[in-house]
Amino acid sequence: MTAIASFAGRRILIGVCGGIAVYKLCEVVSQLVQAGAEVRVILTAGAERFIAPFSFSTLCRHPAYTDADFWSARHGRPLHIELGEWAEVMLIAPLTANTLAKLRYGQADNLLTNTVLATTAPLLLAPAMNTDMWLQPIVQENWQVLRSRPQTLGLEPGSGRLACDRVGSGRLPEPIAILAGLESLLWTQGQADLQGLKILVNAGGTREFLDPVRFIGNPSSGRMGVMLAIAAQHRGAQVQLIHAPLTNIEPGLLTSLDRQAVVSTEELAEAMIAATPIADWVLLAAAVGDVRPELRSHQKLSKAELPASLPLQLLPDIAAQLSQQRYPNQKLIGFAAQTGEILEPAIAKLQRKGLDAIIANAIDQPGQGFGSATNAAIALRPDGSSQPLGFRSKLSLAHAILDFVKNL
């Protein structure tokens, strides 16, 4: 899940609309509160038909608001003004076709829609509805207009079996994807500053097989590369993710990504070379193997058949290959996972491979190793200058890396 420190002390306002997917919002609120966020919840009249306000007030340790509160005289200032000014970021989910249409046209006939007009906070939209409703041309038109507005991030619904038994698009994004969207908005304030850029990211740890069940590999989970892809997508870039095997990555984080899966270093090299010509930025976050067994058996070797020594063969250097054939105005960013002294070997790698910059991190420090939810890094330029990027969640670190690359 998203690292806890990212939400500590942040003020998050959640608008809940009427739909069976409201149960997923309970998980979102629970995770935010456990992470130290201050959470307030507004329910529409439709949402109250699916879930009691008491459920959310229990989870967020604060009364949940309904239209009855909107029309009550017990508040000193108008409630929608107070809530709108209080919020640092606002989420509306599950966004229904009705509320989507109201937001597009600026209608304000309940507490939620009035609060949207009264806030300057960035807005995260997560729709959910029947597939045929979602695919209606007018709904799609409303969605495209609304998500293109400044300070607005729209999460595309997922696909699968819906509550109406229809199989198709319209599922509410998973809680982990909603949390990632909120974390991104807290960083970017809703600015789509990478819009128009094509960004290619690789991730994961490659595997070189000795036989069908044994391989030389590494413990990379691929989380840092996945977070780079998500952060870039949240900032408006067109993103392609090419990844070796991923481990312990929540499936809900991957559904919106354009991705291609590979296994070996050679497969990764082939895919990267094919995809690189159209990329403005290439972010090489994968943990790529350097060697493979010289011989590979297509059948499982018995213990008696295992060689006493294992001859190894060097594999192609993907970063160096891409650097040699780089395209005009293309930024090529490497990553160096190190133990012990990290700066010297990272600078040597940066210069040897002809990269525009390299992101170095120490995998032998607490909370910074493979598979962790957090990381810290130092960004290095070819002239030897550096920029510490700090210890934070991997999604926030991804945003810090993108800021650094943008300013190169």
Closest to 137 in 3D by CA, of 191, 178, 101, 187: 101
Q: What is the pLDDT of residue 74?
A: 66
pLDDT of 1: 44
378 pairs with which residues across the strands? Answer: 360, 388
How far apart CA 228 and CA 10 sit, in angstroms, is 23
> How far is residue 91's CA from residue 68's CA, in Å, rounded to a whole number?
21
Under-70 pLDDT residues of the chain: 1-5, 73-75
Tell me what pLDDT residue 167 has: 83
Instruction: Check residue 122 and report its DSSP letter.
Output: -
DSSP structure string for 281-313: EEEE-SB--SEEESS--SSPPPGGGS-SS--EE
Could you say which of 17, 26, 60, 164 is catalytic?
A: 164
24 is in an annotated binding site: no
CA distance 149 to 279: 26
406 is in an annotated binding site: no
Check whether 198 is labelled as a binding-site residue.
Answer: no
pLDDT at site 73: 63
Task: Tell me if residue 228 falls in helix, strand or coil.
Answer: helix
Token pair in block for residue 241:
């993710």
Is there a cis peptide before residue 94, judged by omega within 30 degrees of 0?
A: yes
Res 75: pLDDT: 62
Residue 187, classed as helix, strand or coil, is helix
Phi-psi region of 236 (alpha: psi -120 to 50; beta: other; left: phi over 0): left
331 is in an annotated binding site: no
Q: What is the pLDDT of residue 2?
A: 47
Task: Note if 17 is an active site residue.
Answer: no
Domains of the chain: 4-188 (3.40.50.1950), 198-406 (3.40.50.10300)
DSSP-derived 3-state class of residue 27: helix
b/e 51-68 (16+ beta carbons within 10 angstroms → b): bebebbbebbeeebbbbe
pLDDT score recorded for residue 7: 95
> Binding residue per annotation — 209?
no
CA 166 to chain centre: 27
pTM of the complete model: 0.94
